[in-house]
Amino acid sequence: MAKHDAGVRYGTHRVIEPKGALPQAALVIDNSLPIHPTEMLVDVQMLNVDAASFTQMKKAAGNDPDGVAALILKTVAERGKQHNPVTGSGGMLTGVVRAVGPDYDGPVDARPGDRIATLVSLSLTPLKIDAIRKVYMDRDQVAIEGYAILFSSGIGVKLPDDFSRDAALAALDVAGAPAQAYRLVKPGMDVGIIGTGKSGLLCAIATRRVLGTTGRIFGVARRQESLDHIGSFGCLDVPILADATDPVAVLEAVHRATDGRMLDVVLNTTNTPGTEMSTVMACREGGVAYYFNMATSFTAAALGAEGIGRDVTLLIGNGYVPDHARITLDLVRSDARLRAYFEDKYGKA
């Protein structure tokens, strides 16, 4: 017989409300110490807040870092985790392992003193914040003092020595996206990337690796500067300046650029709501729409696709793809410019 209840691996012993929920779906979880024997305790240094959540909080706080800090403190005090009540999304964190429970049998091969990044969402990770040291408004990161608890089912990695902590954290936050692009894209395809931020850039470079000189990459951004930036990495064939919340504008632009053939795969890496239908409408009949964007309404995507009679495979962006951390860090390592971009933008700490 198992030494602990089966649910303990998944953190069910910490769910306060509602009873029977898993920690991600729970409204409130217990973030208190001591840790359970199956858990790992981490002294947290930096939160990498999910871009959809950070964008929502920035807007709600009128772009004031103190306002964002107050929202985070409120959420964590009320819920025991950084689970944005509006977007439902979280993020991930880095820190130093303080203790490993005697019955911890999870995938993170780390000991006290090791620096790790969690690869499970903050929306399910017990978190206690003692102080917020700094909110980095331009990179979705928040330096804090506090601790987090990792269940035995929670994935994470030791931080690599050849990256700055914050650059590794930023890349690992979106590790599922380029790893998924490698799986979805096949040579010769026409691929759309809607939203050309951090995960969009990684997806575009991964897509270029698969396509080589075949197929084409269509980038959709609402600012010319974003198109120029992604284009400078050599991974953009057709720039499209359009707002992804305007599906007809995106449809018309892609229709023109493909002579009506439309796209085989469209990866949505924006961070805002209302972009579901531009993704569906950019796809050809039988194409694949992949929603990495956590501000996606899956009702809007499914009913919207049905509403226009478009047979498109709708994929929810599961942040986990086997080996995604290594795949993504290797992608960044393999391109000196990309690596420099991550270290410049996300910090050398």
Count of residues that interact with ligand NAP, criterion CB under 6 A: 31
CB of 177 to ligand NAP, least distance (A): 7
Which pair of tokens denotes residue 304?
A: 């919207």
Paired residues of 241 in beta bridges = 221
Which pair of tokens denotes residue 75?
A: 């959420």
Nearest-CB residue for ligand NAP: 197
337 CB contacts (<8 Å, ≥6 apart)? 233
Please state, in angstroms and rounded to a whole number, the distance separating the CA atoms of residues 64 and 73.
Answer: 14
197 in contact with ligand NAP (CB under 6 A): yes
Which pair of tokens denotes residue 19?
A: 């009873």
Q: What angle do CA 17, 118, 18 make, to 5 degrees?
A: 5
294 in contact with ligand NAP (CB under 6 A): yes
Q: Which of residues 317-336 bind ligand NAP (CB under 6 A)?
A: 317, 319
CB of 147 to ligand NAP, least distance (A): 22
Nearer to ligand NAP (CB atom), residue 35 or residue 46: 46
> Of 47-55, 146-154, 182-190, 324-332, which segment contacts ligand NAP by CB under 6 A?
47-55
125 in contact with ligand NAP (CB under 6 A): no
Nearer to ligand NAP (CB atom), residue 16 or residue 22: 22
Q: 28-29 and 15-17 as β-strands: parallel, antiparallel, unpaired?
A: antiparallel
CB of 16 to ligand NAP, least distance (A): 25
What's the distance, Cα to Cα, between the start and end of the chain in Å? 46
245 in contact with ligand NAP (CB under 6 A): yes
Sequential DSSP letters for 307-330: HTT---EEEE--S--TTHHHHHHH
CB of 112 to ligand NAP, least distance (A): 28
Burial label for 98, CB within 10 Å (0-12, 13-18, 19+), is middle
50 in contact with ligand NAP (CB under 6 A): yes
- Tokens 């499914």 correspond to what residue? 302
Residue 107, SS3 per DSSP: coil
338 in contact with ligand NAP (CB under 6 A): no
75 in contact with ligand NAP (CB under 6 A): no
Radius of gyration in angstroms for the set of CA atoms belonging to the chain, rounded to a whole number: 20
218 in contact with ligand NAP (CB under 6 A): no
199 in contact with ligand NAP (CB under 6 A): yes
Task: Kindly tell me the sign of the dihedral angle through the C-alpha atoms of 340, 342, 346, 349.
Answer: negative
Which pair of tokens denotes residue 258?
A: 């493909």
Paired residues of 142 in beta bridges = 47, 135
239 in contact with ligand NAP (CB under 6 A): no
- Which residue of 98, 209, 222, 333 would you call a contact of ligand NAP, by CB under 6 A? 222
CB 229 within 8 A of CB 196: yes
Which pair of tokens denotes residue 148?
A: 């987090």
CB of 203 to ligand NAP, least distance (A): 9
Task: Kindly tell me the sign of the dihedral angle through the C-alpha atoms of 145, 61, 28, 274.
Answer: negative
Nearer to ligand NAP (CB atom), residue 41 or residue 177: 177
51 in contact with ligand NAP (CB under 6 A): yes
CB of 230 to ligand NAP, least distance (A): 9
Nearer to ligand NAP (CB atom), residue 35 or residue 61: 61
176 in contact with ligand NAP (CB under 6 A): yes
- Which residue of 195, 219, 239, 347 would you call a contact of ligand NAP, by CB under 6 A? 195
Residues at the contact surface with ligand NAP, assessed by CB under 6 A: 50-52, 89, 173-174, 176, 195-200, 221-223, 226, 243-245, 269-272, 275, 292-295, 317, 319
